[in-house]
Amino acid sequence: MDVARKPTQFGDMRGWIDALRKAGELAEVNAEIDWNVELGTALRLAQGPGTGPAVLFNNIKDYNGPNARCSKIFGGGLGSYRRVAMMLGCDIDTHPRELVKLGRTILSDRLPPVTVKTGPVKENILLGDDINLFDFPVPQWNRVDGGRYIISYAGCVTRHPETGVMNVGIYRGMVSAKNMIPMLIWRAQHIGNHFTAYQQAGVKEMPIAFVIGWEPVMGFCAGQPVPAGICEYDVMGAMRGAPVELVQCETVDLQVPASAEIVIEGMISTDPKDFQMEGPFAEFTGYVAGDCSPKPTARVTAITHRNDPILRGSIEGSLPGSFSENAICSSIMRSATAWNVLDRAGVPGVVDVFGPPVHAGINLNVSIKQIYRNQAKQAANALWGSSAAHVRYKHVTVVDDDIDIHDYAAVDWAIAYRVNAGEGDIFIMPNTFGAGLDPSTRRRDRNAALFGTGKWNRLLIDATMNLDYDPDPDLGGARFPPTVWPAKDDEAAVRARWDELGFKKPD
């Protein structure tokens, strides 16, 4: 049965904030808070394991005076499954399992954007000496960061120089001067593909526009594996059920949402001599990552913004007890993408796929209805051979269809009693491409500038019942003994007397 959804347009980020407020999903902080470490710390503590609210900070130190250009920061908008369900137009209590199923097709529809003459984002246009990134309350999110990161959840818009197709992605960018933003760019990413194409064509600068604050579909789509050559604006339109209204940038040949809060336009030099120092940063792994080193740098050519703009940001890095927005969204979409990869590869009997949010889908659990031996190895090889595995699916655990992969205890139980390391249930795929930010990778193997990506040794844990085992006549031909769970009739008989026996009803 398909998940019921009603495509929803919130109009802009303010409409999204209003919807969260009405749903009881928003916390507003009116006490003064320092942009320097304190705000980021508060947001990390508030988000919890996908249970915390979205947060609107209304009183930021040094930016709460009457002449402040920007005085508010919004974060955590997609930091829970409830809010992701709201964005998708589903019931707020939709289970992650159903969101993953929906995610399998949510990126496949297209509705092209439309161009309009102007919009609220053009209410203020800053050029030349009026450009000053420090006029915005850019947080020092973490004490360990190399600086203040203005690009943490912005839609970064670039255009391929040959195809002309725009890409909107999520990347990180630090303020190094009032008009300079050095960025972390990997060649394996879509922005890296664009950047490399400009370099190889001998073009000195690549245009870029950073869209800070719009409807939640922007951050959601920009952070997911939309295929190369497909513009994320087309996907956003289909998801929200209405075309994205775009306006032309002032100084670069790119288009941005007309009702965005803030747009920063710029040019990135393709000459390494113009790179500036960037990093480190508290990354998605939950570790500090990306050494301080010269990176491609955007020279800001214009800033446009709404009156009283709200800066959109995100605290990155998932840890036990504190899941980031990226991790929540990735657990849905990276799981959905993996399921589609398995289907395209012809792996039969897939029942469920899920990468828990605590590690943003680095580990992946797959439940299958096993019909032949070594089916788990087929699944793992299909995943690892796909482009979707670039920075995900490092460790794959495959279980039988009687295991609920959304229940950690169930998966752990299957690993404990269905895995025999000496019988081929543990399989290592060495020296594959992987995430250069993973601290378990040797430092020499993380050099993205030299290798283009990191290096992983991937692992399959086959926690299915081993079909190589001989059927046991004492077990009626089964390979494994039955579990000790009561028979259905026995369970039903006791549950019928539950109140009489004096037990409390389960929550």
Q: Domains in the chain and their CATH numbers? A: 13-312 (2.30.110.10), 325-463 (3.40.1670.10)
- CA separation for the pair 332, 350 (Å, rounded): 16
Label residue 91 left, alpha or beta by phi (over 0 means left) and psi (-120 to 50 means alpha): beta
Partner residues linked to 304 by β-bridges: 125, 263
Averaged pLDDT score across all residues of the chain: 94
Are the CB atoms for 319 and 145 separated by under 8 Å? no
Rounded to the nearest angstrom, the gap between the alpha carbon of residue 156 and the centroid of all alpha carbons in its chain is 14
- CA separation for the pair 203, 209 (Å, rounded): 18
Rg of the Cα atoms in the chain = 24
- CA separation for the pair 218, 81 (Å, rounded): 17
Per-residue pLDDT at 454: 79
Give me the sheet containing 310-312, strands edge to edge. Answer: 26-29, 54-57, 72-75, 310-312
As given in the structure block, the two tokens for residue 310 are 């709200």
Crossing angle, helix 81-88 and helix 13-22, to 10 degrees? 120
Are the CB atoms for 254 and 115 separated by under 8 Å? no
Average pLDDT over residues 421-426: 94
Average pLDDT over residues 14-25: 98
Q: What's the distance, Cα to Cα, between the start and end of the chain in Å?
A: 26
Average pLDDT over residues 138-146: 96
Average pLDDT over residues 453-479: 87
Whole-prediction pTM value? 0.92
Per-residue pLDDT at 204: 95
- CA separation for the pair 353, 406 (Å, rounded): 9
Neighbours of 490 (CB within 10 A): 10
Q: Which residue has the higher pLDDT, 28 or 471?
A: 28
Q: Which residue has the higher pLDDT, 410 or 225?
A: 410
Average pLDDT over residues 100-120: 95
Per-residue pLDDT at 507: 60
Partner residues linked to 115 by β-bridges: 246
Partner residues linked to 120 by β-bridges: none
Confidence of residue 179 (pLDDT cuts 50, 70, 90): very high
Per-residue pLDDT at 1: 54
Residue 459 scores a pLDDT above 60: yes
- Length in residues, the chain: 507
As given in the structure block, the two tokens for residue 12 are 């802009």
Average pLDDT over residues 61-82: 97
Segment 272-286, tens digit of pLDDT: 999 999 999 999 888
Per-residue pLDDT at 141: 97
Neighbours of 269 (CB within 10 A): 17
Segment 333-356, tens digit of pLDDT: 999 999 999 999 999 999 999 999
What DSSP designation does 2 have? Answer: P
With tokens 């990390």, the residue in question is: 44
349: nearest Cα among 365, 366, 335: 366
Residue 52 scores a pLDDT above 90: yes
Average pLDDT over residues 189-213: 94
Per-residue pLDDT at 91: 96
Q: Are strands 166-169 and 155-159 parallel, antiparallel or unpaired?
A: antiparallel
Per-residue pLDDT at 481: 87
- Positive/negative CA dihedral, 262, 265, 270, 273: negative
With tokens 């039969």, the residue in question is: 348
Q: 282-307 burial, b for 16+ CB within 10 Å, e for fewer?
A: bbbbbebbbeebebbbbbbbbbbbbe
- Positive/negative CA dihedral, 6, 224, 222, 220: positive
Confidence of residue 422 (pLDDT cuts 50, 70, 90): very high
238: nearest Cα among 102, 344, 98: 102
Residues 6+ apart with CB under 8 A from 319: 286, 358
Residue 32 scores a pLDDT above 80: yes
Alpha-carbon distances, residue 119 vs 79, 112, 244, 362 (angstroms): 28, 18, 12, 40
Per-residue pLDDT at 483: 87
Residues 6+ apart with CB under 8 A from 98: 3, 90
Residue 470 scores a pLDDT above 90: no
What DSSP designation does 202 have? Answer: T
- φ, ψ at 56 (rounded to 5°): -115, 115
168: nearest Cα among 211, 113, 197: 211
